[in-house]
Amino acid sequence: MTARPKSNAPSGVEAIKAASHHLRGTLAEQLHNSTDHFDESGKQLLKFHGLYQQDDRDQRKVARTAEKTHSFMLRTRVPGGVLTAEQYLAHDDLAQRYANGALRITTRQCFQFHGILKGDLQATMRGLNDALLTSLGACGDVVRNVACCPAPLHDPIRRQIQAVTRQISDHLLPRTRAYHELWIDGEKVALDPPQQEEVEPIYGKTYLPRKFKIAIAYPGDNCVDVYTQDIGLVAIAHGDRLLGFNVIVGGGMGMNHTKVDTFPRLGDLIGFVTPEQVLSVVEAIVLVQRDYGNRSDRKHARMKYLLHEWGVARFVATVEERLGWTLAPAAPLPHLENELHHGWHAQGDGRWFLGLSVENGRIKDEGDLQLRSGLRAVIEQFRPGVRLTPNQDILLTDIAPGDIPAINALLATFGIPLPSALSVVQRHALACVALPTCGLALAEAERALPDVIDALEVELARLGLAEEPFTVRMTGCPNGCARPYVADLAFVGRSADAYVVYVGGASNGTRLNQPYKDLVKREQLIETVRPLLELFRSRRQPGERFGDFCHRIGVTALQTLVNSTLSEEEAHVAVDASVAL
């Protein structure tokens, strides 16, 4: 039997976008009907407005019926993670009033609410709008939240890259009035027919083939994981002068365990642009993806697959053709580290900032740790600036030095530890949301990682590795929302309660890791990793990180060593031999 050729017909989502009159569809009618949910095309369009229709998957089991009770996840768009105290407090109020009482910091410096009911959507979005916030373009086939190193240090480079972040974000925000009509102006939508002449100058009627991600790194600081973005920009500076940006394109994490033609990919460095050129170059790259990205198969629609199919040279030539000029060669890349920005730091302008570690980004009150109430109390009383980090943490900024003791004391009353009281491994760990809200989760992540980290802490302490910085990331499925494939060690959900263990990434996000063992049960994760940590402890080179060690030895050699019956001494000889090969 001959294989059927793949169809090039646009996917169903393309048809929904095309017929939607710039993201309106029948959302207005559906919003006011008597059901608790939207139909399939409504679900797709809602994403562009920052909304996901979900149901509580724990409840599915309890209810034992096919009937789901729907609620919504709402993601706000927070360019560079920068919020005022008032905007933080508005999020906190809305979480209490309309969502499940918790806030979730995301890996792209946004906030998510979970559990909003359909009848409360308009009120929630009006509340955001009143605080000068939006969820437009936080999800959907557009440029998502533009990420940027959030540290508020008083240096001109940081100020400029934050300004470029805002500029790129504003420039690539959808122009449709649908968001305001539907959620903010409310009734008006029923009176006015959609304006047929409305135009989206960048996106057109069908927007992009798929989501699109952009991030900017400060020289030397890769907390945004530039290599995993559709476009990663690394600032290049000379002293206090921003010379421009190195441009990296075609990164992405998502894959499917069983489809070998889907894969994580690191971006390619394609050249250097000045601050004056950066917006036109970013726009040209987005337009190339808009016009040539795959619109028939959403599993291959990310720009990384265009890079993979075309190769870098053709991609760059197409971008340059659109620009009408050629890109300058890339500048030497500064060495990158993944800075967490934890603890107290002088900003350099007489003020201080405090970076707090938020376990898996979840701001809630639980037991002795009253994180939500404590943050609220500090922010209400001291009115600091607030920044969300790509490591799912929070920075409280612009604090007068005289307020530091009172803030430390107030945090302590709510049981909130300073990062120095936490283990190194916990502070570097990330988990995606997964169950119970994520419809794509195959296994637990956010709810499972704390216990895994507790067990790992014990092992690391036993081996004298407690101070060893390395990244541990867990996701409930292979889509890669916590960017697991660049971590030193990752656990990626494979089936209910089983994971693929990955090792050998780089803590600074510059190398992909490799699958080490498949279908490992959650309770066996630590015993699977233990022999690797033992080998690392005894055979590492001076200063070598765990991921670098696993990469140097190689996954196959590690598997052979761990599965063999060699004595410890023989294993060491074998390690040396495998490295020498």
Residues that bind ligand SRM (CB under 6 A): 52, 54, 73, 75, 106-108, 110, 112, 144-145, 211, 213, 228, 252-254, 302, 361, 432-433, 437-440, 479-483
Let me know if 205 is a catalytic residue. no
Q: Which stretch binds ligand SF4 (CB under 6 A): 72-80, 100-108, 166-174, 477-485?
A: 477-485
Structure tokens at 550: 């696993």
Residue 145 binds which of ligand SF4, ligand SRM, none (CB < 5-8 A, kind-dependent): ligand SRM
Q: Is the peptide bond before 436 cis (omega within 30 degrees of 0)?
A: yes
Minimum CB–partner distance for residue 173 and ligand SRM (Å): 14
DSSP 291-333: HHS-SS-GGG-SHHHHHHHH-HHHHHHHHHHHHTSPPBPPPPP
C-alpha distance across the termini of the chain, in Å? 44
Closest CA to 479 of 531, 426, 532, 440: 440
Q: Lay out the site mask for ligand SF4 across 394-433 (x = CB under 6 A, - = otherwise).
A: --------------------------------------xx
Q: Which is nearer to ligand SF4, 87 or 360 (CB)?
A: 360
Minimum CB–partner distance for residue 106 and ligand SRM (Å): 3
What is the spatial distance between Cα 387 and Cα 79, in angstroms, rounded to a whole number? 10
Catalytic residue among 24, 75, 77, 158: 75
Let me know if 483 is a catalytic residue. no
| Residue 436 one-letter amino acid | P
Residue 578 CB coordination number (10 Å): 16
Structure tokens at 478: 């292979």
Q: 3-class SS at 118?
A: helix
Q: Which stretch binds ligand SF4 (CB under 6 A): 43-51, 188-196, 309-317, 471-479?
A: 471-479
Q: Which stretch binds ligand SF4 (CB under 6 A): 203-211, 450-458, 465-473, 474-482?
A: 474-482
Q: Which is nearer to ligand SF4, 162 or 479 (CB)?
A: 479
Residue 483 binds which of ligand SRM, ligand SF4, none (CB < 5-8 A, kind-dependent): ligand SRM
Catalytic residue among 24, 104, 118, 213: 213
Alpha carbons within 13 A on the beta-carbon side of 156: 8
Let me know if 149 is a catalytic residue. no
Q: Which is nearer to ligand SF4, 432 or 558 (CB)?
A: 432
Asked if 38 and 48 touch (Cβ cutoff 8 Å), the reply is no
Residue closest to ligand SRM (Cβ): 254
Strands (E), 8-138: 51-55, 70-75, 82-83, 103-105, 111-116
Catalytic residue among 118, 477, 545, 550: 477
Residue 477 binds which of ligand SF4, ligand SRM, none (CB < 5-8 A, kind-dependent): ligand SF4
Residue 476 binds which of ligand SRM, ligand SF4, none (CB < 5-8 A, kind-dependent): ligand SF4
Print the SS3 string covering 158-209: HHHHHHHHHHHHHHCCCCCCHHHHHHHCCCHHHHCCCCCCCCCCCCCCCCCC
Residue 254 binds which of ligand SF4, ligand SRM, none (CB < 5-8 A, kind-dependent): ligand SRM
Residue 110 binds which of ligand SF4, ligand SRM, none (CB < 5-8 A, kind-dependent): ligand SRM
Dmax (CA) of the chain: 80
Let me know if 477 is a catalytic residue. yes
90, 128, 233, 445: which one binds ligand SF4 (CB under 6 A): 445
Asked if 185 and 199 touch (Cβ cutoff 8 Å), the reply is no
Residue 160 Cα distances to 9, 36, 166, 227, 341, angstroms: 43, 45, 10, 21, 19
Minimum CB–partner distance for residue 443 and ligand SF4 (Å): 8
Catalytic residues: 75, 144, 211, 213, 432, 438, 477, 481
* Residues near ligand SF4 (CB under 6 A): 432-434, 438, 440-441, 445, 475-477, 479-481
